[in-house]
Structure 1
Amino acid sequence: MSTTDDTVIAVRGLKKSYGVSANRFEVLDGLDLTIPQGDITCILGRSGCGKSTLLKCICGLEDVDGGEIDGDTDDLGYVFQEDRLLNWKTVEDNIRIALESNDIPSEEHDDRIQHYLELVGLAENATDYPLQLSGGMRQRVSIARALAVEPSILLMDEPFSALDEITARELREKFLEIITELDQSVLFVTHNATEAAFLASRIVVFEHEPPAAIERTIDNDLPYPRDIDSKEVQELKREIITHI
């Protein structure tokens, strides 16, 4: 299978299990999923249904047992639930490490660091250390770090779930502004129906129990920019909840 110009990642018949012999636990069993170019695709489902395992398989953190993952899987950005910053490195050096590990030419580093810190509103914090920052600021640094490598797709694993609701709301709004400006392809894992209704151009709802299967795909045609408190977003949230 090969991807087309309007597809950034294509998953076909993906299989993943843990354990041995009769005690093997199937998390993914023949999963098919296509991520369109420029889409914000949200994978939504209850805890333990296989959402994070899918992301880890796509980025190579987990080996797969069968099936195919097609696309440029070496050209990914990843934002975890935890910011995973190195506390003994400055903000700019945390981003520089990502650029070095992705073989970005050194002459581009300073411009990219400056540009993506400006996008997330932290240009003045480049020489700060992570422990000097709030949780929301640290997560903005992790988003800048992932975007700075200019990936074909950005993978995000519940990146706002560890934040208080006010900070998470602010960061969702800032993130959506940045992503729509960049026309960045995103695969976003969440269990928050409001978050999915607000962010996604497409919502893929997983079945309650593994192995992961798609219960419903919902196209979200609400125009950007969006108001998270709007009647339309809240109506879509209520529809999503009926499927999870």
Structure 2
Amino acid sequence: MPESDFVADVPPGTLVLFDFDGTLSTKDSLFPFLRFALGTAGLIRTCVTASPWLIGYGLRLISNNAAKERLLSIAFRGEELSSLQEKGREFARTILPHMLRPDMMARLAQYQKAGCHCVLVSASLDLYLQPWAGMVGIDEVLCSSLSRNEAGQVTGRFHGLNCHGEEKVRRIEQFLEAQVADRPSAILAYGDTRGDIPMMKLADRAWWVRPHKIEPFENSAPS
């Protein structure tokens, strides 16, 4: 069908929710950012040290939140947050543009042209998602962020929770509560993994983003 047909019946004031990794991008963005920030050798050291937690997550023995927090603690604890933010801006400018899905970026552009309110909802880090979203005109970013101490150093813990699964819904509901004068007429959502299912169930209409196609969400996990 023509590229813009999917927005033909979208009412004014529609809220469109996009996951990032594997949805707007072709792959996970966290490990490329870790490699960018730490170098290849630093990434290898970090992964080796964090391997018990990564394996535990793979075996579903520990939560996504715990494994990811441990990984990021090993990678960045004690770093100046301002330095990581600068690396995030550079990563957003130089690396992320080469990781995007042309078909989904075209959809984003069509929704924006139709006057929809486009929001990024991702477990990835604000260090690079915030500046990237500003570059492409996304209206709001709901994502994971790192906490810092009074000296401006990263503590190794999340500020709040990892924006994954049910936490995505909590962030969206919190965002909607703040939209007192501008409530959406409809909610659409795009995702690609089980962690996106709660967000997709919240929407009036949702789509799975597969490697080579986009198809309606039917309350089931991706194949």
Work out whether the TM-score is over 0.5. Answer: no
Please, what TM-score do these two structures have when normalized by structure 2?
A: 0.35
Q: Name whichever structure is richer in helix by fraction.
A: 2
